[in-house]
Structures are given as C-alpha cells and as structure tokens.
Structure 1
Amino acid sequence: MNLHAIKTVLVLGANSDVAKEAILLYLEKGYHVIAASRSTGDIASFMKARNVADQQLTICYFDATAFSGHAEFYAGLPAKPHIVVYAAGFQVTNEQALVDWEGSYRMINVHYAGALSILNLIITDKENDHLERIIGLSSLSGVRGRKSNFVYGSTKAAFTQYLAGLRQYLFSRKIIVNVIIAGYIRSKMTAGLDLPEYLLMEPSFIAQKIVNAGNRFAIVPGAKWKIIYQVLKYMPEKLAARLP
C-alpha cells in the first residue's frame, strides 16, 4: 500500500477502549491508521478478532511518558499524519493520588506532559504540510475542581487549556483542534468505580464524536452531559463547594 496516497490518522494511546473504537471507524472511512501504544499485543489481538486487514493498520510502540524517545518515534513513522488523536489515559483515585506521588506524577505525564512532548514535535514539523486536525480526549473532570477528583481533574484541565491555545496557534495554518470533553465512559479505566449507570456512555459513542468532529473546539458528548457541563462551568462557588 502506498501510504502517501491515502490519508493517515495517528492515534496515540491507541489501546484505550475509546481509541480502539475510533480506529475501527477511521478504517471504515478508508484511512490508514497508525495505532501507537505501549500495549501493541492487545491492539493486535483486538484488530485480528475484528478481521482488520494488515495493510490498513500499522501498530507501533509508544509510551507517552518516555519523553526522550518521542522524537525518534515520530521520525520513524511510516507516514506523516493528516489527523492526530491523543487518547492516552491513566487514573488513580484522589485518595491515592494525595499520598502516592508516583500515581499523581504519572497522571501529569500521561495527560499533560506527554501530550505536549509529542504534539509539539508534530506541529513544528515543517515537512508535514498536510496536517489538518488534532483531537484530544479530555474530561468533564477538568471543567471544575471537585474534592473527589481534583488531582486527576487538574491534569485534564491543563490538557484542555493547552489544546485551546494550540487551536489559536494553528488557526492561520487552517489546522483544526478539537477537544472531546467526556463524562463517565464504560471502560476498563472506570471498571472499579461506583458510577451511576444512567450516566455511563459507551466507548463507541465517544468514538463517533471523535471521528465526526467538526469545527467546534469543545465537543461534549451526550445530552445529559451537555447540561452537566454547563452547570459545572457556571455554578457559583458556594454551591460548587458542596459537590462530592
């Protein structure tokens, strides 16, 4: 396959439940997908079970926290991306994060520092003149600080603000930047959490929002979560302090 003849999507953090569903949708649309993750074997097994043709997909190793290797990783890609999706994620509970610096530090590196490291390399690559879109998977946890998850939420808030500035920075180059501000997703990362069933969204639903992202910067999937997003954003501090 001539990878330079078709559009390429680079998915960073490709083993997340949402990312894998997004990969399937991109493949259906005829893109070549580079699935980058530490868990290359898991991705290969997932794609084999769904009869994905090898020539449509490239699987490669990527560690968001291994900053020193990001330049080599990007230089070694089989094709420069038209679209980049950053979906890497990691979470520990707030209680654990407060007493376990390693857990907090990893969330910072996966959600924020790692994103900056690789995305800065991509956007400053003068040889890639066909980059058209960057999409980041963030969270409603980053909209307002809450006592139950403010450590995790702060890393997502930082990522969202980076993407907001990046959108302005790339405006003159006509490169679109989107952020998916998602609520609770039924996934392996939330499997052990006590979450209300009626608010859980399926990974495939979030993936559709990623693949069909338009020009709007902030995309909040789900009607209920759109309301929650607005409430969180504009709620007076006295009321916000009472949130769990």
Structure 2
Amino acid sequence: MIQNTGRNVLILGANSDVAKQCIKQYLEKGFSVTAASRDTGSLEKFVGENNLDSSKIAIIYFDAVDFDSHQKFYNTLPVKPHIAVYAAGFLVDNEKALRDFKGTKQMMQVNYMGAVSILNIIAMDQSNTQLERIIGLSSLSGVRGRKSNFVYGSTKAAFTQYLAGLRQELASRKITVNALVIGYIRTKINEGLQLNESLIMEPDYVAKHIVNAGNSFTIVPNFKWKMIYIILKILPEGLVSKLP
C-alpha cells in the first residue's frame, strides 16, 4: 500500500527498461508510483536491488492483452493517477510477422489494442479530477511504412493516431496527452538486432524525456532522431521505398 501518496503516476508495462528508469525518476520528483506489469516479481527485485522507497511504490499485476480485466484493474487501483504512462510493447521481426500471424496479433494487442482499452477507461473516468496527463510510448517506425518493419510500425502508427485524437478529446478538461516517438533504445526488446550504435539511446535518457514531458504532442528524444523524424515526414514516397 502506498503511503503519503501526493501526486501519483501509473506506469503500465512497468517492467520495460525505460519504464524502470521512469520509476526511479518519478520518485526523485516526489511522485508515488503504481507500477503495473505481468512480471511483478521482476519489479519487486528491481525495487529491492535499487533501494527504492517501497512505501511510495505499489506493484500490481496488469496484462495488456486481457482486455476483460482492465475495468476491474482500474477500479481497484490503490490510488487514481495524476499521470498515466503506457509503456507496454512487443516486437517480432517483420519477416516472421509476415509469415506467422500469431506474432502480428500479439503486436497489435500489446502495442495498440491493449493501450486503447485501458487508456479509454482511464480517460473517461471524469470522477478522477486529478488526472492531468497521459503519455504513450510510440516509435519512429510508425512515421512511414518501410519494408523492414511495417507490420510493427503499423501498430505504432495506429497508437500515435489514437493519442492524437485522445489529446483533442481531453483538451476541454485540460488533460495533456503526449506521444513519445522513439528511435533505437538499448533495451531487451532490441537485443540481437543489428542497429547503428551511434543512434542508440540509453533507457535513462529516454525516461528523462517522459518524466519531463511538456505540452507538445510529439516528443522525439535526441537531436539526431528529431532530424530523422522530420526527414521521414517529408520524404517523397519514391525515396521511402528505397529505404531498408
């Protein structure tokens, strides 16, 4: 049970490397944290190994793809959030996704459907007058369809568009919605991939941009990735087709 809560942040998919850094940084800013994940044991280990203040952290079970459980999950939260962060994610190789729909379905459910399911519940609870911000972790892969990752990218593109509409929906209640459009990160999800080392960001660096999110809808951490984002947005289709 969280003690002396103050402002609270709910992190959905809290077992990711970036989310764990967010836990640390939100605590440093004086928040209490509700960390939600399927792997609660890993989170408990993380809290212990890092000597975090367990009186300000509630670790609870959350399954992004168990849609029928989401309303009960929200109703039984120890405290309703001031900020909600959707950090759950799933990735399979594009070639595998094209040949095995099981992986594609899992990406759709975790990256988009699960996000919409739980964030709709959070956003539409008008009794939670303290809700001030919703943050979703999206990806540069969703900016333009490219043959190397368009199946995964399509789930992130859908999520970004959902967040854009949600931002408009919640504007009258003065609730800010941000989309973190993120490039390569040194995390578990990217292990084994051949990535440009000069473009890889560390989890704590990305977490800093989440925890300090401002009013802009699209937040792209790292100057290099900002340039890539702009180029992808304006590049003619003929040139996009030549990209890997």
TM-score, structure 2 as length reference = 0.98
Residue 195 of structure 1: aligned partner: 195
How many angstroms apart in 2 are the aligned matches of 1:128 and 1:17? 29
Q: Give secondary structure in 2 for the equivalent of 1:52.
A: coil
Please give the alpha-carbon distance, in whole angstroms, between the structure 1 residues aligned to 2:103 and 2:208.
30
> Distance between the aligned counterparts of 1:4 and 1:202, measured in 2?
31
For the residues of structure 1 that align with 2:58 and 2:204, how far apart are their CA atoms?
21
Tell me how far 1:124 sits from its aligned partner.
1.0
Tell me how far apart the structure 2 counterparts of residues 163 and 25 of structure 1 sit (CA, whole Å): 23
Partner of 1:172: 172
Q: Which residue of 2 aligns with 1:237?
A: 237
Runs of 4 or more consecutive aligned structure 1 residues displaced over 3 Å after TM superposition = 1-5
- Work out the CA distance in 1 between the residues paired with 2:146 and 2:177: 27
Do structure 1's residue 70 and structure 2's residue 70 form an aligned pair? Answer: yes
Q: 1:53 deviation in Å?
A: 1.6
Matches of 2:161 and 2:4, distance apart in 1: 33
Q: What residue number does 2:86 align with?
A: 86
Contact 2:12 2:36 in 1 (8 A): yes
Read off the aligned partner of 1:13 and give its amino acid letter: G
**2:181 aligns to what?**
181
Q: CA RMSD in A?
A: 1.1
Aligned length: 244
Q: Would you say the 8 A contact 2:5–2:56 is kept in 1?
A: no
C-alpha distance 242-33 of structure 1, shift in aligned 2 (>3 A): same
Output the TM-score relative to the length of structure 1.
0.98
Q: Secondary structure at the match of 1:71?
A: helix
**Aligned residues of 1:3 and 1:79 also touching (Cα < 8 A):** no
Which ranges of structure 2 fall in alignment gaps of 5 or more residues? Answer: none
Is the contact made by 1:9 and 1:31 (CA closer than 8 Å) also made in structure 2?
A: yes
SS across alignment from 1:10: strand
The SS at the match of 2:190 is: coil
User: Equivalents in 2 of 1:173, 1:106: separation in Å?
Assistant: 33
Contact residue 2 and residue 57 of structure 2 kept, 8 A:
no
> Percentage identity across aligned positions?
61
Please report how far the alpha carbon of residue 161 of structure 1 lies from its aligned counterpart in structure 2 after TM superposition: 0.3
Instruction: Output the amino acid matched with 1:159.
Output: F
Find the counterpart in structure 1 of residue 127 from structure 2: 127
Secondary structure of 1:189's match?
A: helix
The SS at the match of 2:35 is: strand
Match of 1:227 in 2: 227
Q: CA deviation at 1:47?
A: 1.2
- Aligned pairs (5 A) from 1:36-115: 36-115=36-115
Q: Does the CA contact (< 8 Å) of 1:3 and 1:78 recur in 2?
A: no
Which whole-Å deviations, capped at 9, do the CAs of 1:11-31 have from their partners, x for residues lacking one? 000000000001100001111
Q: CA deviation at 1:64?
A: 0.3
CA contact (8 A) 1:144 1:232 kept: yes
> Residues 34-75 of structure 1, C-alpha deviation per residue, up to 9 Å, x if partnerless?
000001111111111110121110000000000000011001
Q: 1:94 to 1:114 in 2, by over 3 A?
A: same
Q: CA deviation at 1:126?
A: 2.3
